Amino acid sequence: MDHEVNVETLKRAARIKMVVQKLVAYTFLTAGAAAMVAPFLWMVTTSLKEPGSIFSYQRPWWEDWIPIQFYWKNYVLAWKAVPFARFYINSIFVSICVTLGQVVTSAMAAYAFARLNFPGRDKLFFAYLATMMVPGAVTMIPVFILLRMLGWIDTYKAVIFPGIFTAYGTFLLRQFFLTLPKELEDAAKIDGCSYFGIFWKIILPLSKPALATLTTFTFMGSWLNFMWPLIVLNTHNKFTLPVGLAYFQSLHFTDWTQLMAGSLMMILPILIVFIFTQRYFVEGIKLTGIKG
């Protein structure tokens, strides 16, 4: 009898402990989420204020958080101040080219490294690996000089081509290809399938998760890249979004309402895409983190 009561109280204590633990976790997570969202909320509210009234002591404090004015003109002004639509198109074009180029060439090279025998393979792969250690800063200057000699400065090519060829993509995909079972390929070989056939019909379809990861990361990396386009582009009409936004700031350094409207216009499409695709990001990070 005594023993049973003891078990009951223990169970209850454990349940209470669980509830408390979850409560603490929720409080912590909610506080964290509030800290994450607060700056964005400030951005939205500021972007909707009248330019002269960004701050006033006469207002109650919560009016700085909840948009009660809707001065949409900020968005119109920002849209007209610089060619935002053009920046968008540039960014989309550049990012698609970089992503396509990188995924296709990396997959091909990774297949050769993972599955084909050829003299010098291991040495060459080691050379690839070794350059992953070299900081981008080292190659930045010679690549700039090379592009200048080619007359590519201030062209999309100058942003796209150096972005395509990274050892990282080849490495990631090679590691994934190595984990694929060889039996299917052997069977295909006996059936007289060419190397390209094996690559196209067997390896690629089996590697969708890795390809999706590389695609997402390459696209995002290219979309967010600021420094390199800043270095090689000069004409406003060729700017990608980040460079365009920085250019906008240089023109309207203290027009906060317009600056925030411009920033929001830039962030919003990505936010929407992200909310629908966040699962792939998470899977991708796990994949690369564990492999890396």
Partner 1 sequence: MQMMQTQSPTQHKKPFITSAMAETLAAYGFLAPNLIGFLVFTSLPVFASFVLSFVSWDLLSPPQLVGFTNFIKLFKDPLFWKFCWNTIYLMGSIPLSMAGSLLLALALNQKLKGIVFFRTVYFLPTICSGVAIYMLWRLLYNADFGLFNLTIAKIGEIFHIPLKGPNWLTDETWAKPALIIMSVWQTVGGYNMILYLAALQGVPRDLYEAAEIDGASAWHKFWHVTWPQISPTTFFIATMSIIGGFQAGFDPAFIMTGGGPNGSTTTIIYYLFNHAFQWHQMGYAAAIAWLLFLIIFLFTVFKWKIFGKAVYYY
Q: Is 69 an interacting residue with respect to partner 1 (CB under 8 A)?
A: no
Nearest distance from C-beta of residue 245 to partner 1, angstroms: 5
Q: In the range 229-288, which residues lie near partner 1 by CB under 8 A?
A: 230-231, 241-242, 245-246, 249, 256, 259-260, 262-264, 266-267, 270-271, 274-275, 278, 281-282, 285-286
Q: Is 96 an interacting residue with respect to partner 1 (CB under 8 A)?
A: no
Q: Is 211 an interacting residue with respect to partner 1 (CB under 8 A)?
A: no
Distance from C-alpha of 107 to C-alpha of 214, rounded to nearest angstrom = 10
- Output Rg (C-alpha) for the chain, integer angstroms: 26
Nearest distance from C-beta of residue 118 to partner 1, angstroms: 4
If the CB atoms of residues 1 and 247 are measured against partner 1, the closer one turns out to be: 247
Instruction: Say how many residues touch partner 1, by CB under 8 A.
Output: 97
Q: For partner 1, which residue of 63, 64, 154, 185 counts as binding (CB under 8 A)?
A: 64
Q: Is 88 an interacting residue with respect to partner 1 (CB under 8 A)?
A: no
Nearest distance from C-beta of residue 241 to partner 1, angstroms: 7
Q: For partner 1, which residue of 10, 16, 19, 136 counts as binding (CB under 8 A)?
A: 136
* 8 A C-beta contact, residue 244 and residue 261: no
Interface region with partner 1, contact rule CB under 8 A, candidates 5-13, 66-74, 76-84, 166-174: 166-174
Site string for partner 1, 4-43 (x = CB under 8 A): -----------------xx--xx-xx--xx-xxxxxx-xx
Q: In the range 100-129, which residues lie near partner 1 by CB under 8 A?
A: 104-106, 108-109, 111-113, 116-119, 121-122, 124, 127-128
Phi-psi region for residue 196, left (φ > 0), alpha (ψ -120 to 50) or beta?
alpha
